[in-house]
Structure 1
Amino acid sequence: MVSAISANAPMIFHQRPEPPDSESPLDIAVDKYNSDLKAGDPCVLWNDAQAIRAAVKQEIGDDIASLPQRHKTELQPTIDQLVDTYGQSIMSVHDMDPAVTKEVIQSGIDDYKKQATTWTPEDRSKVDAYIKDAMTRNGGDIEKSFEDLRNMRWTPAYFYDSNLAIAADYLRARWETQKYNNITAQVEVSTYLDQKKQGQTPQNGPGPVSQYSKLQEEYMYKGINDQWNTLNWFEQMFADSPDQTEADLAMAAFENDAS
């Protein structure tokens, strides 16, 4: 019969050993590749190499995605430089691996650098979703909605998001119309687009300047019209008066902070 444990009896706790550090998906992929190198089956090694490249992309992508928003003048490091830095840290972990393994890892880093610095394909539905979400988050406030998307544009993970850039340009055009009028905003947008077509748009934030596209032009003029149409005829008549327009043009200096 087991006697009851006395409340005064000393309790003995055994220290539970710390579990070993878990391997990352990249470490697991590299281990498999190194193991399969002995057999040398080309098909198996090809699949292993693809797994390494996918894991490299994921690991570096996660590192970049965790970076915070930058201030307007923080232009460094670029995405190229970030990928190089995170890639070097990966290579240092696998410094003792076979040369062929390191070659596969480096090719994964190089492939991801190219992908990470390529503008995403334009998608009208994604542009609309960015605009709708920003407007919802900010209660329909045009200026705050623009600043919301601009702040996303100033986050490294979104530097090459074409759809976000177009959405931010749309809201900026609406905001300019709200501040001044449709004529002033049209002059500003037209000048900005002409500069962009000629590759003369200055970098007005930490992210790269988006490329000119017809979809971008469409959305910027749509932004002007959408905002102008929120006014009744009397408000439009006042805002569109020659004296008001002249004053607005003298004040306006369109600087697309989202680039």
Structure 2
Amino acid sequence: MIELKTPAELERMHVTGRFVAEVLTEVGRIADVGVNLLDIEQHVRGMIARRGAESCYWDYAPSFGRGPFRNVICLSVDDAVLHGLPHDHTLRDGDVLSADLAVGIDGWVADSARTIIVGDPADEGDLRLVRATEEALEAAIDAARPGNRLGDVSAAIGVVAADHGYPVNTEFGGHDLGRTMHGDLHIPNTGRAGRGLRLQPGLTLALEPWFARTTDRIVVDPDGWTIRSADGSTAAHSEHTVAITEDGPWVLTRREPDGA
């Protein structure tokens, strides 16, 4: 069931969103050459525990994964892009790290992701890829306005992907959320404008464009979770939780600019 939130409920989701933003900012700060993914996982666990928040990933067991997931953050490196299982990997110069986090505070959930290039980029193509997902996310947010349709949001992402020449996978995309991490809506990362559910104030969406450089096909690691590009090309992922309001889109997980 799709739930429209009251302004007071959106404020409560914003509390969660600010915390998610804080954690992902911290991940960006500590993700450096020589840091192990398992150390990042432990650091995030500590932040969640101190805040009294609840991980949406711990014990998560959807049909597409080999559950239960026993980590609090998804960490995906290079050709991995979604549901990356934190493991014994020491970050190297040029690694492309996607970090995805969803938590609940006092019954309200927020979900966000960012992609970080560790140290110096391996090549300019990785930078362009990350920026394209960020550009697509901003285009999707701009389309998330009352009276528009869900297809307008998907189409906005698809236009950016096409402009940059990136193929788009539609198996995994955005979703609605609120009291739980995943609602009933699937928001593909390309689509037809003017189609689908009409957006109304109080609707909250996790918008999450992700692209691989040269393929729209995916494979799953033996761990049953980590999703990679089928051809081994680098992938990137950006995500925000966005509320539809009378005044336009409200990004509940917006981070301060790096270095601010």
| Fold similarity call, TM over 0.5 | no
**TM-score, normalised via structure 2 length:** 0.27
Q: Where is the helix percentage greater, Structure 1 or Structure 2? A: 1
**TM-score, normalised via structure 1 length:** 0.27
Q: Which structure has the higher relative contact order (CA within 8 Å, separation 6+)?
A: 2
- Rg larger in 1 or in 2? 1
Q: Where is the strand percentage greater, Structure 1 or Structure 2? A: 2
